[in-house]
């Protein structure tokens, strides 16, 4: 197979972890005779620094015309602590998601056997947990109108959803559930929010097409608790943009480190793959960031193109690294391996 992949390393630890994902894909290409052509482009704080824009036209055009996007991380404290900055790195990622129509963000959560004791949660709570979060990614409060009055004293964000936006991701979630344990848990705040009530109505309607899948509902406050109390109850979690953002970071504790969690963002035409951790600026350039989330994002990319045995090979290589303790300090405080060494190990095993 021949794939053209746009690589947006982004900010903070983005470049160093994405480099390991590229190494991995390169190794897969050699072993299985595929050609992956990488094209680097700017996005985020680094793009603002160089071009004034968080998502330069050139980057967007490239992403629109490649088979897939591999993305690192975005964000820089110099913007976070400046509430009145007009241009912000995150705008680049949000615009990219919107322009590529990446409406479904898929985040699998499953602890590794050899890491069952690395979680802050007790082993019996997490052993056997295996669920996937389907987070709506191009709607909700992320994209609704934002206002600040002239005096700078009143601000607002609009959360908006349409039946169509809800329908398309709901189908994906139910299809995924059909290939899993056949349960979808819709998370919302329908006792307070109008948008949540629309979600509930639409999801119920769509669910009629999938009589083999069980549908249940949880309020988001309860869900945030249940994910910790009893993560095994979940199979597919379906939720809106902001709730998905919060719950997926929270759920990362089940695996022991957010540095292990990959995600795929899918649209009708385009696809983007990214680790769910952020730019982690404190670790930048120190060779301590965990590259596994990025490497697993590359594996999700392979799966997306039907390269299942190749993806499996990557999963196995990652498991081997974890099993042999070739991991970064987030997983083993006294580890002598860094970002690069973990990436090398994994690509060498392939």
Tokens of 258: 């957010």
Going by C-alpha positions, the residue among 6, 8, 18, 69 that lies closest to residue 301 is 69
Written as six digits, the tokens of 343 are: 């990436």
Annotated catalytic residue: which of 40, 67, 130, 249?
A: 249
CA distances from 146 to 96, 177, 189, 194, 271 (A): 18, 35, 21, 18, 27
- Decide: is 164 part of the binding site for ligand IPM (CB under 6 A): no
Q: Cα separation of 62 and 69, whole Å?
A: 9
Taking the complex as a whole, the smallest distance from the CB of residue 18 to its own copies amounts, in Å, to: 20
Alpha-carbon gap, residue 295 to 189, rounded angstroms = 34
Q: Given candidates 39, 90, 99, 127, which one binds ligand IPM under the rule CB under 6 A?
A: 90
Residue in 222, 268, 282, 325 binding its own copies, rule: CB under 8 A: 222
| Selected catalytic residue, list 189, 235, 313, 330 | 189
Asked if 110 and 129 touch (Cβ cutoff 8 Å), the reply is yes
Q: Are 333 and 288 in contact (CB under 8 A)?
A: no
CA distance 350 to 314: 7
Q: Which residue among 11, 76, 245, 330 is the active-site one?
A: 245
Taking CB under 8 A as the criterion, the residue among 33, 83, 113, 334 binding its own copies is 83
Joined tokens for residue 194 = 């109008």
Q: How many residues bind its own copies (CB under 8 A)?
A: 65
Q: In the block, which residue shows the tokens 């620094």?
A: 49
CB crowding 120-154: b at 16 or more within 10 Å, else e? ebeeebbeebbbbbbbbbbbbebbeeeeeeeeeee
Tokens of 306: 């039907």
What gap in Å lies between CA 97 and CA 204, rounded to an integer?
A: 27
Instruction: Please indicate whether residue 249 is annotated as part of the active site.
Output: yes
User: Minimum distance between the CB of residue 71 and ligand IPM, rounded to whole angstroms?
Assistant: 9
Q: What is the contact mask toward ligand IPM in residues 286 to 325, using x (rule: CB under 6 A)?
A: ----------------------------------------
Q: Which of 80, 157, 194, 221 binds ligand IPM (CB under 6 A)?
A: 221
At its nearest, how many Å lie between its own copies and the CB of residue 109? Answer: 12
User: Which of 221, 286, 312, 324 is labelled catalytic?
Assistant: 221
Q: Which of residues 238-267 bind its own copies (CB under 8 A)?
A: 242-243, 245-250, 252-253, 258
User: Do the strands 104-109 and 131-136 form a parallel or antiparallel pair, or are they unpaired?
Assistant: antiparallel
Q: Decide if 286 is catalytic.
A: no
Binding mask 50-89 for ligand IPM (x = CB under 6 A): ------------------------xx--------------
Our CB check for ligand IPM shows the closer of 22 and 107 to be: 107
In angstroms, the CA 77 to CA 265 distance is: 25
The distance of closest approach from Cβ of residue 199 to its own copies in the complex, given in angstroms and rounded to an integer, is: 8
Residues 25-54 that bind ligand IPM (CB under 6 A): none
Residue linked to tokens 């793009």: 47
Residue 347 host element (H or E): helix 339-349
Task: Identify the residue among 8, 115, 186, 190 touching its own copies (CB under 8 A).
Answer: 190
From the list 107, 110, 234, the residue with the least C-alpha distance to 181 is 234
Write out the residues near its own copies by the rule CB under 8 A. Answer: 75, 79-81, 83-84, 88-90, 94, 120-122, 125, 141-142, 144, 146-148, 152-164, 189-195, 197-198, 200-201, 217, 220-222, 224-225, 228-230, 242-243, 245-250, 252-253, 258, 278
Write out the residues near ligand IPM by the rule CB under 6 A. Answer: 74-75, 90, 93, 191-192, 221, 245, 276, 278
Q: Which residues are catalytic?
A: 142, 189, 221, 245, 249
């Amino acid at each position: 197979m021949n794939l053209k992949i746009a690589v947006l390393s982004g900010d903070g630890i983005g470049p160093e972890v994405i480099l390991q994902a590229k190494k991995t894909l390169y190794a897969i290409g050699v072993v299985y005779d595929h050609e992956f052509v990488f094209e680097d482009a700017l996005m985020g704080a680094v793009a603002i620094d160089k071009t004034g824009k968080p998502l330069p036209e050139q980057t967007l055009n490239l992403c629109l015309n490649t088979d897939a996007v591999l993305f690192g991380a975005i964000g820089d404290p110099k913007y976070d602590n400046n509430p009145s900055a007009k241009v912000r790195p995150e705008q680049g990622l949000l615009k990219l998601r919107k322009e590529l129509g990446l409406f479904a963000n898929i985040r699998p959560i499953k602890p590794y056997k050899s890491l069952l004791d690395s979680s802050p949660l007790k082993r019996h709570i997490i052993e056997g947990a295996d669920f996937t979060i389907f987070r709506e990614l191009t709607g909700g409060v992320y994209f609704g109108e934002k206002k600040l009055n002239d005096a700078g004293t009143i601000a607002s964000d609009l959360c908006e959803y349409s039946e169509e936006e809800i329908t398309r991701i709901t189908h994906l979630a139910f299809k995924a559930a059909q290939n899993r344990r056949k349960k979808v848990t819709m998370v919302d705040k329908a006792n307070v929010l109008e948008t949540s009530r629309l979600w509930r109505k639409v999801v119920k309607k769509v669910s009629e097409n999938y009589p083999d899948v069980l549908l249940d509902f949880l309020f988001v406050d309860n869900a945030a608790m249940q994910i910790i109390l009893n993560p095994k109850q979940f199979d597919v979690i379906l939720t809106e943009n902001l709730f998905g953002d919060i719950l997926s970071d929270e759920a990362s504790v089940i695996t022991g480190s957010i540095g292990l969690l990959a995600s795929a963002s899918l649209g009708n035409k385009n696809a983007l793959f990214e680790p769910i951790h952020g730019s982690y600026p404190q670790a930048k350039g120190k060779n301590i960031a965990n590259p596994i989330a990025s490497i697993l994002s590359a594996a999700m990319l392979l799966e997306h193109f039907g390269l299942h045995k190749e993806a499996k090979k990557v999963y196995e290589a990652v498991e081997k690294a974890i099993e042999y303790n070739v991991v970064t300090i987030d997983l083993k405080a006294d580890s002598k391996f860094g970002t690069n060494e973990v990436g090398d190990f994994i690509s060498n095993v392939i």
